[in-house]
Homo-oligomer: A and B are copies of this chain.
């Protein structure tokens, strides 16, 4: 049986990120991206009209922990060359949410038909990258061990307003024993472009969380053992929440968990 050398060579020259993105673009993969293209940065996506994009850029600049901006596109350009040579944001995310006036109106698997010359794409860092660094350091993540979501909470901490965008900080929570909490601070401090160091640890009521057992959307691993502390990171749900409250006429985001897989390696985001 003859070996198809040309396609074999093409597959070999493709990185895992490019291969997965190709499957997503071909609509062969429409599910969540957790665990795909291990080692590569995955990004949260927000797409806004120009009339709202400048204020959102300023909101990210003022709130770098919940909104760590990896890349903003040129006006009307669907490509994201900072994140990969051939990324077309219209087709390269497995599932999108379309919001009109702050209300989710549909979920779609590509947005070519919705693209306009006045749209700007924002790609934000996501905690998958720092979780990968924690796991590589041998620090267990309870929600991953259990195959659950991380739990998130709306705090009483106001983000810094920029124009029409503002709102409360949303955090994710991971329980650790003290030694691993200290190491988690050290490790995630190296990754300011994917939320960075925790924003809080210990008593949840100090940031307005009254009941750890009642997470945002009602999902996630919430139990903290007697020898553990809850450790809280700024969460990428914060900007989505701010956008929904601001009610722009159009906003397109990735569907939660269905991220853009970029060509950046997680390790290249480490600041030292």
Which of A4-12, A24-32, A180-188 is the contact stretch? Answer: A180-188
Of B178, B198, B201, which one neighbours A200 at CB under 8 angstroms?
B178
Query: Is the contact region of chain A dominated by helix, strand, or loop, or is it mixed?
Result: mixed
How many Å from the CB of A257 to the closest CB on chain B? 27
Q: How many copies of this chain?
A: 2
Q: Across the interface, which residues of B come within 8 angstroms of A189, CB to CB?
A: 185-186, 189
Number of residues on chain A facing chain B (CB within 8 A): 19
Evaluate contact between B198 and A182: CB separation under 8 angstroms: yes
Given contacts A206-B227, A272-B272, is CB(A201)–CB(B186) below 8 Å? no
Q: Across the interface, which residues of B come within 8 angstroms of A53, CB to CB?
A: none
Q: How far is it, in angstroms, between the C-alpha of A202 and the C-alpha of B176 when the chains are bound?
A: 11
Shortest distance between the CB of A250 and any CB in chain B (Å): 37
Complex alpha-carbon distance, A229 and B182, angstroms: 13
Q: A198 to chain B: which residues have CB within 8 Å? A: 182
- The A110-145 residues at the B interface (CB cut-off 8 A) are none
Residue positions of A touching B, CB distance < 8 A: 177-179, 181-182, 185-186, 189, 197-203, 206, 227, 229, 272
9 further interface pairs, Cβ-Cβ under 8 Å (given A178-B200, A201-B202): A179-B199, A182-B185, A182-B199, A185-B186, A186-B186, A186-B197, A201-B229, A203-B227, A206-B227
